[in-house]
Amino acid sequence: MDESSFQATVGFSVRDTLILFWLHSTFDQERYSVDIHDSFIEEFPGRSVRYEYVTRIARQLATEGALSVRQEHKKMYYQCTPVGKERLAKYQDLYFNRFHEILQVLDRIYYSLTKNGEKPTPPDHPLPTEFRSYFSKLLSVKDVIRYLALHLSLNRSSFYMAEVSQQLNDLFGWSPSSAYLYTVAREMEESDLLHGFWPDERRSVRHMKGTDAGAAFYPTITHSLEERVKNTRHYLNYILHFIQKDEN
């Protein structure tokens, strides 16, 4: 996910990010605008933001009473005001729990994909309902389903899609709706990524097993999902760094 797509998805524009950065960076000390610009570029590598835009945001925040401003010679120094601290607290209330809960799910998915780092703690509750639609905007839900279904197909002689849902809940603390799960399953059968069959005449539970095409596609979907998860975790961690609730 590129930066502009991520910002559009999570509702954090460059302006939002700069406001958050200004309020956080000047919370308990004065900062010079050039210093803020340089620090921003260092904290968010690869993000191209002009110095003029950084100072424009500072002036807007000062006009709104969120930053105080003091001129020393030709330098303008800014510091967060009580109004600014209240605004920062609103960012915390609005985004912290949402991003924190989602990041825990992403960490578990990333570990499942890569086995890198320390194993995350298993989920002790599902992703809250109010965050589910938001989560589906960050990742391709279809890719998560396809990844785990293909993983099962490579390690079991057969399985059924309800097991995929259960595995998603047990491993990650999240699963999609049953309707969408079975929609993806049908698509995987149609594209020969899975082979479905009825184990008996009752036709109550359709079983799945792997195919050569599915085995060949597994590395592709794993790599694609890993990149998406890695980039999304990267940006969420940056944002969470600036809205930690213990800041105030």
**DSSP code string of 197-215:** E-SSTT--S-EEEE-HHHH
196: β partners: 208
Dist. CA 111–CA 219, nearest whole Å: 16
pLDDT tens digits along 24-47: 999 999 999 999 999 988 877 656
**First-last CA distance in the chain:** 32
Rounded to the nearest 10°, the torsion over CA 142, 143, 149, 150 is: 140
77: β partners: 32, 70
Q: Give the confidence band of 6 by pLDDT, cuts at 50, 70, 90.
A: very low
Question: Domains, the chain, ranges and CATH?
Answer: 3-80 (1.10.10.10), 103-237 (1.10.10.10)
Q: Three-state DSSP class for 110? A: helix
Q: What is the pLDDT of residue 164?
A: 97
The single residue listed with the structure tokens 């930053």 is 67
Task: Give the DSSP H or E segment for 194.
Answer: strand 194-197
The β-bridge relationship of strands 67-72 and 159-160 is: unpaired
Residues 172 and 132 sit within 8 Å (Cβ to Cβ): no
Stretch 43-68: mean pLDDT, rounded?
A: 89
pLDDT tens digits along 121-160: 999 999 999 888 888 888 899 999 999 999 999 999 999 9
Dist. CA 135–CA 206, nearest whole Å: 28
Q: Give the confidence band of 12 by pLDDT, cuts at 50, 70, 90.
A: low
Q: Rounded to the nearest 5 degrees, what angle is found at the Cα of 91, between the Cα atoms of 88 and 96?
A: 120
pLDDT tens digits along 180-224: 999 999 999 999 999 999 988 888 899 999 999 999 999 999 999
Q: What DSSP assignment string belongs to 36-99?
A: HHHHHHHHSTT----HHHHHHHHHHHHHTTSEEEEEETTEEEEEE-HHHHHHHHHHIIIIIHHH
